[in-house]
Amino acid sequence: MAKVNHFDEVNRKGNLEDVLIAGDKAHFFWKNYPDRNNKKEWKYSEEWAIFCTVIQQSIDETPLILSGNLLDSDVIKDLDIAKNQQALSIIFLDDVTENQKSAIYANLARKTQIKEIKVFDKNCILQDVGRDYLVRLRKNEEMLKIEETLSREENAEEPIIIKTAKQAEIKYADNGIKKGLFLMEENDKGINYHWLSDKFDVIGQGVEIEEGNLHYSMIRFKSNGNGEEITEAILQGEIASAETFKNLRNKGLEINYVTKNHSFLANYISSKTITSPKWRIVSSSGWKNGAYIYPNGEIIGEMDNKQPLFLRNQPINADLFKKSCTLEEWQENVAKYAKGNDFVILSLLFALAAPVVGVVENAPHFGIHIYGDSGSGKSTCSYIANSVYGHGKELERSWSATRTGLVNEAISRNDCLLVMDELTNISQDVGAGIFYELFQGVEKLRGQAEKDQNRRVRTWRTMILSNGERNYEDQLREIFREKNFKAKAGELVRMLNISFTGLNNYHHFANDPDNTTEYHKSLAFADFIKVNSSKYYGVAGREWIAFIRENIHFLNMEKDKNERSFIDKMIAIKPPSVDDKELNQIGRVAKNFALLVTVGKCSKHITGFTDEEIECTIFRCFKLWADEFGWGNKEKMQIIENLDRFIQQNIGDLYHVKNKKIISTPVSKKFVGFYFEEDTRENSYLMLDKRNLILEMGAFPEKKIIESLLKEKRLIRTERKDKETWRNESTYPTLDITTPTKRGLKITLPIEE
């Protein structure tokens, strides 16, 4: 009677458990010859080594081999396959048909007393065949007859009906070498398994409304490098692209490099997406329907419709926004050292105001530029402000950037704080208009020629805390090398220039005997804050945002109350010469400072400040700003400044007239006007060529210039002949020269201080 190969050798050992390999190349699955020129030198195959590891068996154990002519179903029926074993592990190679498998099962059920079988494919993956299958066959005669019938079907004279192969499936499996997603393909010879990738879960279908209803598939996996859980949004139109698989590999998901398998993964992701929960995808941080997205993608709260959120564009430095301590640790090691230092308190409350502007009515975002000598302690303000949301030092950004880089950074900190270091480093290429753009919060309109339409305009509400050695206007004048450069009033009420008056309270460093001078005390204090804000950070912002979510109505009421109180204080200290009607611009900024008061009073449980120190500190800082900005209308002040500068620069190009005679003529051929010297300076005046003067007055419209000159009594109008109307221009006196026009503007001299 025929026997499988190694039958006698294996059974002599009397093992209770053995291995059977079935297939035409069963022997090569066990042993192979690595050198094809020396076929006598056999070595165990890698597949056999892997399998022995899977079943925890010695590699030296000899398996039963069923191959060649012995695989004929009629031969298998009477074949001696096993003898006294209690358990048998069976490896079916790809060429073994279902009929042959049925014949083997029927043989083992009839001729042996094996109680347990484990069935594997060629990839050493355990198959879905019950271990007690032979026992059940013996007990169920009908089942056994079915197996025997199936084993004979391939030799029947009647044509067999070939079942259509099932659609390929992807399942999570472990073959002892790799865990992950395997492709299961069933055909008439059996089931083939192909490893596709590490395990990942399809967790949702996302829609990004802001980008025009773009649809995404959401997947989640653990990085094979550090085990970090990664959530990724993949555009559904790009699921099968090489760039998508490259990006996933870069983030730690191992994927089979055989490209023909990628389509299976893409279809798997797509099919799973359809039945997954809906997500909201966004491209910027901040408030989203009641939830707040931190710049690192962390979600605080949930949206009103309970839909999960995902931030698609996370900044490269997202890890710097992590929380490193408890609130008590931050209060004890960072916040308490702000006390007694106006600019540190100002910066800290400014940081806390960042998420408020998105939920409180009529609360605009703005910026503060603190300027002063290098080494005076300005960086201390930046460190403590940054520590509210993340790492005190590393979150700081430099003004040395491109225009696009600055806009992208502002968008990545939407409804949050952006600290910018050293305005001196700003490039000419950025352009002076970048500040207006940053605080306007709207990106420039850009077109897409290939699509014959405009790009989506991105918006943001970012609070920017800047520092430098010079004020914003002087710094830009130097950078852009324009002597007559003037920042627009709209920029100056968005980016608030405040001169740094220094640190006043060094806390315990003030009494440290090792710090004998003011310089040493300041240096020790600054170093201490730098270290602590880089060690204790990220908790205050989270606590504050959670408070905001629950107290929006309360914050709005407090804002209105504090605004009224702050405006009253502003009016009380304004110079008597300034009309209330001229307080529009300065009043707008007063509301910004009032917002900081509101934030301070509502966040006392976080900062530990008192109402009195909050109100006094913020009002002192406001007064510093107002004294530098100037009380009244900024455009009017700039027009008068431009006029006086024009007079100073062109005084030598005027015809000097005294007692109705020209006593000196200009060297320049350009006609600028006349200087009429009278008995006193107050009675002396100028008559200037209107065209040249208007050109030198900047970008202000002529009507605005004339109104400002009249209001400040610098323009003397002439009564018309009808004596009912006035003319802005006056007729030049009759002198022995030819003027390009008959009339000019009659201007008074500036008052000498």
Q: Indicate if 348 and 256 belong to the same structural domain.
A: no
pLDDT at 38 over 70: no
pLDDT digits 0-9 by tens, 146-164: 666 555 544 444 443 333 3
Q: Which two tokens stand for residue 161?
A: 């009906």
pLDDT tens, position by position, 363-372: 888 999 999 9
Q: Count of domains in the chain?
A: 4
Distances (CA, A) of 214 to 254, 271, 281, 312: 27, 18, 9, 12
Q: Are residues 454 and 348 in the same domain?
A: yes
Among candidate residues 550, 566, 583, the one where a domain is terminated: 550
SS (HEC) of 146-201: HHHHHHHHHHCCCCCCCCCCCCCEEEEEECCCCEEEEEEEEECCEEEEEEEECCCE
Claim to verify: residue 128 and residue 216 sit in the same structural domain: no
174-183, 192-201, 615-624: range with highest mean pLDDT: 615-624
Is 316 inside any structural domain? no
Question: What is the pLDDT at residue 674?
Answer: 92
Does residue 622 have a pLDDT over 60? yes
The answer to whether residue 581 is domain-embedded is no
Over 70: is that where the pLDDT of 187 sits? no
Q: What tens digit of pLDDT does each residue of 345-378 get?
A: 999 999 999 999 999 998 888 999 999 988 788 9
Which of 222, 247, 282 is at the close of a domain? 282
| 681 and 714 fall within a common domain | yes
Residues 239, 362 within the same domain: no
Same domain, yes or no: 455 and 511:
yes
Which domain-ending residue is among 512, 533, 550? 550
Q: What is the CATH number of the domain that holds 436?
A: 3.40.50.300
pLDDT of residue 153: 47
Residue 486 has pLDDT above 80, yes or no: no
pLDDT of residue 724: 64
Q: Are strands 743-748 and 729-731 parallel, antiparallel or unpaired?
A: antiparallel
Inside any domain, residue 477: yes
Does any domain span residue 659?
Answer: yes
- pLDDT range class, residue 579, cuts 50, 70, 90: confident
pLDDT attached to residue 348: 98
- Residue type at position 714: R
The pLDDT score that the predictor gives to residue 152 is: 53
Same domain, 430 and 464: yes
* pLDDT tens readout for residues 189-242: 667 788 999 999 999 999 997 777 899 999 999 999 889 999 999 999 999 999
In-domain check, residue 714:
yes
What's the whole-number mean pLDDT along residues 138-145? 69
Do 366 and 499 belong together in one domain?
Answer: yes
What letter represents residue 699's amino acid? A
CA distance 552 to 390: 24
Is residue 108 pLDDT above 50, yes or no? yes
- Give the number of residues written for the chain: 753
Upper half-sphere CA count for residue 369 (Cβ side, 13 Å): 25
pLDDT, tens digit, 9 for 90 and up, residues 688-712: 988 888 887 776 788 888 888 888 8
Higher confidence at residue 624 or residue 579? 624
Is 39 found in the same domain as 179? no
Lowest pLDDT segment from 104-118, 142-156, 327-341, 538-552: 142-156
Average of per-residue pLDDT values in the chain:
87
Report the range out of 115-129, 211-225, 553-567, 643-657 with the highest average pLDDT.
553-567
Provide the token pair at 557. Answer: 């009421």
Residue 620 lies in a domain: no
Asked if the model's pLDDT at residue 593 lies above 50, the reply is yes
* Predicted pLDDT of residue 333: 97
Residue 625 inside a domain? The answer is: no
pLDDT attached to residue 179? 86
Question: What is the predicted pLDDT for the residue at 723?
Answer: 60
Place of tokens 């003319």: 727
- Tens-digit pLDDT profile for residues 249-292: 999 999 999 888 899 999 999 999 999 999 999 999 999 999 99
Decide which of 60 and 544 is more confident. 544
pLDDT digits (tens, 9 = 90+) for 440-479: 888 877 776 666 677 778 889 999 999 999 888 788 777 7
Share of the chain above pLDDT 90, in %: 44
| 473 and 333 in a common domain | yes
Query: Per the domain annotation, does 295 fall within a domain?
Result: no
- Reply yes or no on whether the pLDDT at 647 is more than 80: yes
| Domain match, 256 and 377 both | no
Pairing of strands 743-748, 685-688: antiparallel
User: What domain range includes position 470?
Assistant: 325-550
Do 442 and 535 share a domain, yes or no? yes
Q: Does residue 719 register a pLDDT over 90?
A: no
